[in-house]
């Protein structure tokens, strides 16, 4: 593998928005993105990798910008037809999006590994950055709730995060191996960015693949994170709710559901952490963890803000 300059750890929507800026300030072929696959789900016999697709569609410029997932202008005729056959259709798979899942499932059935399939997908869609799944093995993010064990997508979308989460399990993680290129891209990068993604079910999942966290601790590359929490709340999604419910398991206090709490979760490998202007008061506390703090505007309203944030991150890792 050719040496890539920057490696990013990514979930879905939050990560993709940051990466949109990054590919405009560093050559996209110099970027490797390691993506969470714990959210993957099988529906109607099709293998769906939402976070991978979100990142690829975004970098290909075809994502539905408003939603942050799916394909711009997509239609939902197939889903409507499936509904008439009695299928459950809570997961909004668009007609063009379905082509990706048919293609992926077809190639997996032919014996290609997930990382190979993803490489074909991103090349076909004109994405020059390297997109690597965290693992080729099956890992499933399961929410242990007061109503029973639920797949993460069902918790998030079908049940709209209404259940009380007692524990999160990454089923299959103990046996999962990092996909080809994952460890190399961490060890050989000049700098690494931890995208502003959910610290538990996006970045937390990637970090739980045996070997990945250790390589982040060992690499000589500088590592910068961007806080997904601003003034204690996520821009979107259940990050704060999950951090609060799982505080004991995460070894944080309930009052630490903030950029400080996220920094604490990454303290063993982070060199620098970018927090929002609104969290300037947390600087000293985070620096006491041995992490350099950079304060800036982290709300990525438009392309300009995304590029500005990417520049700040690159400066922090010396790229
Ligand atoms: P998901 O897998 O689709 O939920 O996406 P990610 O895990 O990549 O990202 C979810 C996180 O992105 C949430 O916790 C949000 O707070 C964060 N996020 C989204 N937009 C922004 C933004 O503009 N700025 C910052 N700092 N975080 C953001
Ligand atoms: N998110 C939703 O909120 N509702 C949906 O119906 C939905 C469908 C969907 C289909 C394909 C895809 O690639 C992503 C999709 N997402 C949907 C987003 C996705 O569930 C989440 O943002 C991530 O998986 C969370 O990590």
- Ligand 2 atom with the shortest distance to the CA of 49: 13
Per-residue pLDDT of the chain (319 residues), as tens digits, is 445 699 999 999 999 999 999 999 999 999 999 999 999 999 999 999 999 999 999 999 999 999 999 999 999 999 999 999 999 999 999 999 999 999 999 999 999 999 999 999 999 999 999 999 999 999 999 999 999 999 999 999 999 999 999 999 999 999 999 999 999 999 999 999 999 999 999 999 999 999 999 999 999 999 999 999 999 999 999 999 999 999 988 999 999 999 999 999 999 999 999 999 999 999 999 999 999 999 999 999 999 999 999 999 999 999 9
- For 214, the enclosing helix (H) or strand (E) is helix 212-218
- Residue 304 · residue 16 · CB < 8 Å: no
User: Which ligand is located closest to the Cα atom of residue 14?
Assistant: 1
9 lines ligand 1 (CB under 6 A): no
Nearest CA to ligand 1 atom 11: 197
Which of 131, 179, 129 has the alpha carbon at shortest distance from 5? 129
228 lines ligand 2 (CB under 6 A): no
Which of 201, 229, 223 has the alpha carbon at shortest distance from 51? 201
20 lines ligand 2 (CB under 6 A): no
261 contact partners, CB below 8 Å, separation of at least 6: 229, 243, 250, 252, 253
185 lines ligand 2 (CB under 6 A): no
pLDDT at 3: 54
143 lines ligand 2 (CB under 6 A): no
17 lines ligand 1 (CB under 6 A): yes
Which of 32, 2, 25, 240 has the alpha carbon at shortest distance from 133? 32
Nearest CA to ligand 1 atom 20: 14
11 lines ligand 2 (CB under 6 A): yes
Place of tokens 């103990």: 174
- Ligand 1 atom with the shortest distance to the CA of 11: 8
pTM of the predicted model as reported, rounded to 2 decimal places: 0.97
Which of 288, 280, 281 has the alpha carbon at shortest distance from 264? 288
User: Which ligand is located closest to the Cα atom of residue 204?
Assistant: 1
pLDDT in tens, 117-171: 999 999 999 999 999 999 999 999 999 999 999 999 999 999 999 999 999 999 9
197 lines ligand 1 (CB under 6 A): yes
275 Cα to the center of ligand 1, angstroms:
13
- Residue 115 · residue 179 · CB < 8 Å: yes
User: Which ligand is located closest to the Cα atom of residue 296?
Assistant: 1
* Cα 18 to Cα 197: distance, rounded to the nearest angstrom: 9
51 lines ligand 2 (CB under 6 A): yes
Listing from the earlier edge strand, what are the strands of the sheet with 6-10? 130-133, 31-35, 6-10, 191-194, 222-226, 272-276, 292-296
DSSP 226: E
43 lines ligand 2 (CB under 6 A): no
């Amino acid at each position: 593998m050719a040496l890539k300059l920057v490696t990013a750890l990514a979930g879905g929507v939050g990560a993709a928005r940051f990466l949109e800026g990054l590919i405009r300030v560093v050559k996209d072929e110099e970027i490797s993105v390691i993506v969470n696959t714990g959210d993957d789900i099988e529906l109607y016999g099709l293998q769906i990798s939402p976070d991978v697709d979100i990142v690829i569609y975004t970098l290909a410029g075809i994502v539905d910008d408003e939603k942050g997932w799916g394909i711009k202008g997509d239609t939902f005729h197939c889903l409507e037809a499936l509904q008439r056959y009695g299928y459950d259709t809570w997961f909004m798979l668009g007609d063009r999006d379905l082509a990706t899942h048919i293609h992926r499932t077809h190639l997996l059935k032919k014996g290609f590994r997930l990382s190979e399939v993803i490489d074909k997908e991103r090349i076909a869609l004109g994405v020059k950055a390297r997109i690597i799944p965290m693992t080729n093995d099956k890992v499933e993010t399961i929410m242990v709730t007061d109503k029973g064990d639920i797949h993460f997508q069902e918790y998030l979308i079908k049940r709209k995060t209404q259940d009380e989460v007692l524990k999160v399990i990454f089923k299959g993680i103990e046996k999962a191996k990092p996909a080809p290129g994952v460890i190399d891209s961490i060890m050989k990068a000049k700098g690494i960015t931890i995208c502003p993604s959910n610290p538990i079910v996006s970045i937390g999942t990637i970090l739980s693949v045996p070997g990945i966290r250790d390589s982040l601790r060992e690499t000589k590359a500088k590592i910068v994170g961007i806080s997904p929490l601003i003034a204690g709340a996520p821009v979107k999604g259940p990050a704060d709710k999950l951090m609060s419910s799982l505080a004991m398991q995460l070894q944080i206090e309930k009052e630490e559901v903030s950029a400080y709490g996220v920094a604490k979760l990454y303290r063993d490998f982070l060199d620098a952490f970018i927090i929002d202007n609104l969290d300037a008061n947390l600087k000293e506390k985070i620096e006491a963890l041995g992490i350099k703090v950079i304060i800036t505007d982290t709300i990525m309203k438009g392309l300009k803000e995304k590029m500005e944030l990417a520049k700040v991150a690159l400066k922090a890792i010396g790229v």
